[in-house]
Structure formats: C-alpha cells, structure tokens
Amino acid sequence: MKKLSLTKQLLYICILIIGIIFITLGIILPNELLPIYEENIYNKLKQPLSFIRTSDDVSNNNNDTDIAYIYQNSEVILVSKNIDDVVKNFDTDIINYTTHNYGKIVYKNRLYYYYNSSNNQSGSIISITNDKYINNQRKDTLYTIFLITGLSFTLCSLIIIVWSNSLVNDIKILKRKIKNIDNENFNLALNHEFEDEIYSLNESIEAMHEYLLNNESYKKQLYQNISHDFKTPIAVIKSYIEAAEDGIETNEDALKVIKEQTDKLENKVHSLLYLNKLNYLKEQENQLKARTNLAEVVATSVEKFKLIRPELTYKLDIDDKEMYRGTYDMWETIIDNLLNNFMRYAKKEIKITIKNQKIVLFNDGENIDKNIIDNIFTPYKKGLNGMFGLGLSIVKKTLELLNYSITVDNVKNGVNFIIK
C-alpha cells in the first residue's frame, strides 16, 4: 500500500468496505428475512386449499409443481400426482408429523413446510412443499445484494476516480508551490472551491511564502544595517588614527575617541554573538530549566549603569524570594539591555518592581508613539532618537526562549516595560 497511488489506495479501501458490507449482509439479511419468507410460503400453501374440496380435486390437481396435496379421512389417503417430485422418498407416515394447522418439519433429513386444512365434508387436506422456495428466496436476496453492491462499487469507483484526480492535481500544484516557496515568481493558482484541509494547506503555504519573502528582505536589510553599524565606528577609529599621525588631534584625544568606538564595536560583536547563541540555548534544557533570583542580578546591573548616569534616581522594589526561569547570565543580558535603553530616554528616574512573578521596569522618559511601540523589538527600526539596535530584540528573543512575554505601556509621566 505504501507505494500505491492515492487513487488506487482509495479504490482498494472502497473494495474492502463494500466487500465487508456484502459479506455481512449476505450472512445476516437472509436469516433476518427468514420469518417473512416463511409467512409467504404459508400463504402460498393456504391459498389453493380454498379451491380443493374433494379427494378428486387432490388426485387431479397439478397446477403448481412446487406444492403437493395429501387427502386424508378415516378410510383412505390420496395424494396429488406430483407428490414424488415434491417429497423425496414419500411415505404416508409423513402425515403423523403434520399435527398442527401449519408448520415446518424435518422428514428424512429434509425440511418441509405444510398447511393442514380440515374439511367437514370429507376429511382434511394437507398442502406441502419442500425448502426449494426458501432457498430460491435466499438466492434472490443474495443476487439483489450482489447487484446493489456492484452498482454501489461502480458508482463509488467513479466518484473516487473523479474526486481523487482532482485531489491529486491539487496536491501536485501544492507540491510545486512548496518547491518554489522561496521564489519571487511563486504564482501558481489553486482553484479549490471547498474550505477544507487542502484549502487550509494552500493558505498556510501562501502565508509561509509571504513570510519567507519578507524574512529574506528583512535579512538583507539587517545585514546592510549591521554592516553600516560596524563601518561607522571603524571609520571613526581610522580617521582619528590618521588625525593623530598628522598632528591634527592630540594622541590623548584620539585615544579617548578610539576607546569609545572600540567599546561600541565590542558591544555590537557581543550582541551578534549572543543572538547566534540563542539558537544553541534552545537545545540546552539544563539552562532553560535553571532558576535565578533576580535581586542580585538587578542590583549588579544598576550599579554598573549608575556610573553612566549617576544623576538618575534608581528605585528598587524587589521580592528577593521569587525565582525565575533561566540562568543568571541570561537575566543579566535582559536587564542590562533594558537599562541601556533607559539610559537614552530617562529624565530623572528609573524604577524596577519585581513581585508576584511580574517584572515592571519604569523610566520617566517621553511616551512612545504607538507605531514605534509595534516595532520597538525589531532591530534597526526607526525610534525616537535614531534606530533601535539589537538590544531590545535580544531581550524579547531571550524572554520568549524562557516562555515569558514583554509588553510596553505608556503611563503617566513615563513608560513601563512589563515582563510576565
């Protein structure tokens, strides 16, 4: 079955199902219909008796070769001419078995049906037949089942062939679309009228195609921005080295600028390496299962950034008993990048609250435009003071790795970054 086409698989399944139905009906239905067959045969045995009144009627009757007649009174027993054709090895002792008005008897290993009619004028008349009628009825039933099954199979086969061909054509189109999913010339149309699994799959492929094209465009733009991001400090360093060599700048001033630009380069390299490291961390369950108390992480980070902007007020409200998923290094990266962002926008105050498995970082900078909030975690998107770098993107990706989310809310007198 593994190497068969979809059409053949469906046909074989159809054959199997219809075969099971045929066998089941062939066994069950004749037995279920047996009471009806027997009622019919008793009616068949009874009807002629209304026309047979005397022993002469019995002797001369030969209208129905399937039914024989036996006449009995106190003196004589007469039978119809076809008795030997109906009752195999006939003997008058069969009368002893016909004690009821009607019924079935087994006589000399064969089944017979009879109807006994008492005649007040001359005695009783018994009509009798063998099981040929019942067997014929069963054969007719089986033939009908076979005919219906055959027609059903033919109809089902035609439906399956038409439907599967349409389905296979759709699948072939989907296959070609998947093969060219990252191609800009991806324009194969699928004319599928029903909103079923094929339709959903096509929608998913279309969405994936759009995502890949956008992602490819995003990557190109990202590489260009990173390249520009690296070229700028390198160009500054080179120009100050040349200025120092030409005596335009003092060595002391040049070294100061070169150190600043070198620190920027180091931070950018560190960010890129960390982004690459995140893919590795996805497979490190021990680091994802680790638990960290954020009180020490926040205290250490705040002390570092106080050196950059000592004029700011730093307020901490931290439950030092709470533990959070992730390693110390991961949370240090998250807090450092958020505080580094706050350094650019905070006016007087930064507040960090950690309670009830919720982290809120506040700075009293200007409210952020909604359009900017939507892209705030996307690297190299335009922000209030230039473009966002890699920092906030690293924050979001790290938190997602730890199954946390981060949102940005404008509040009175500032902005909240909320992690939960």
Intervals of the chain under pLDDT 70 = 1-4, 6, 48-65, 74-76, 118-123, 180-197, 199, 209, 211-232, 249, 264, 268, 271-272, 275-276, 279-288, 380-389
Which pLDDT value is given to residue 416?
Answer: 92
Using an 8 Å Cβ cutoff, are 363 and 349 in contact?
Answer: yes
Which pLDDT value is given to residue 311?
Answer: 92
Which pLDDT value is given to residue 244?
Answer: 74
Residues 226, 216: Cα–Cα separation, whole Å: 15
CA–CA distance from 390 to each of 229, 236, 341, 380 (Å)? 11, 21, 11, 7
Which pLDDT value is given to residue 368?
Answer: 86
**Kind of pairing between the strands at 313-318 and 349-355:** parallel
Beta bridge partners of 396: none
Q: What secondary structure does DSSP assign to 145-175, as a single string?
A: HHHHHHHHHHHHHHHHHHHHHHHHHHHHHHH
Domains in the chain: boundaries? 6-138, 197-277, 285-419
> 46: which residues sit within 8 A by CB, 6+ positions away?
102, 115, 117, 127
Q: What is the CATH number of domain 285-419?
A: 3.30.565.10
Which pLDDT value is given to residue 360?
Answer: 93
Using an 8 Å Cβ cutoff, are 214 and 184 in contact?
Answer: no
Strands (E) across 165-293 are located at 291-293
Residues 92, 63: Cα–Cα separation, whole Å: 22
CA–CA distance from 13 to each of 10, 131, 301 (Å)? 5, 38, 67
Residues 256, 229: Cα–Cα separation, whole Å: 20
Label each residue of the chain as H, E or C. Answer: CCCCCHHHHHHHHHHHHHHHHHHHHHHHHHHHHHHHHHHHHHHHHHHHHHCCCCHHHHHHCCCCCCCEEEEECCCCEEECCCHHHHCCCCCHHHHHHCCCCEEEEEECCEEEEEEEEEECCCEEEEEEEECHHHHHHHHHHHHHHHHHHHHHHHHHHHHHHHHHHHHHHHHHHHHHHHHCCCCCCCCCCCCCCCCCHHHHHHHHHHHHHHHHHHHHHHHHHHHHHHHHHHHHHHHHHHHHHHHHHHCCCCHHHHHHHHHHHHHHHHHHHHHHHHHHHHHHHCCCHHHHHCEEEHHHHHHHHHHHHHCCCCCCEEEEEECCCCEEECCHHHHHHHHHHHHHHHHHHCCCEEEEEEECCEEEEEECCCCCCHHHHHCCCCCCCEECCEECCCHHHHHHHHHHHCCCCEEEEEECCEEEEEEC
Which pLDDT value is given to residue 120?
Answer: 46
Which pLDDT value is given to residue 10?
Answer: 75
pLDDT single digits (tens) 88-124: 877 777 877 777 888 888 888 888 888 887 654 556 7
Which pLDDT value is given to residue 330?
Answer: 85
> 321: which residues sit within 8 A by CB, 6+ positions away?
293
Alpha-carbon 121 to chain mean position? 81
CA angle (130, 133, 137) in 5-degree steps: 150
Provide the CATH topology of domain 197-277. Answer: Helix Hairpins (1.10.287)
Residues 382, 169: Cα–Cα separation, whole Å: 46
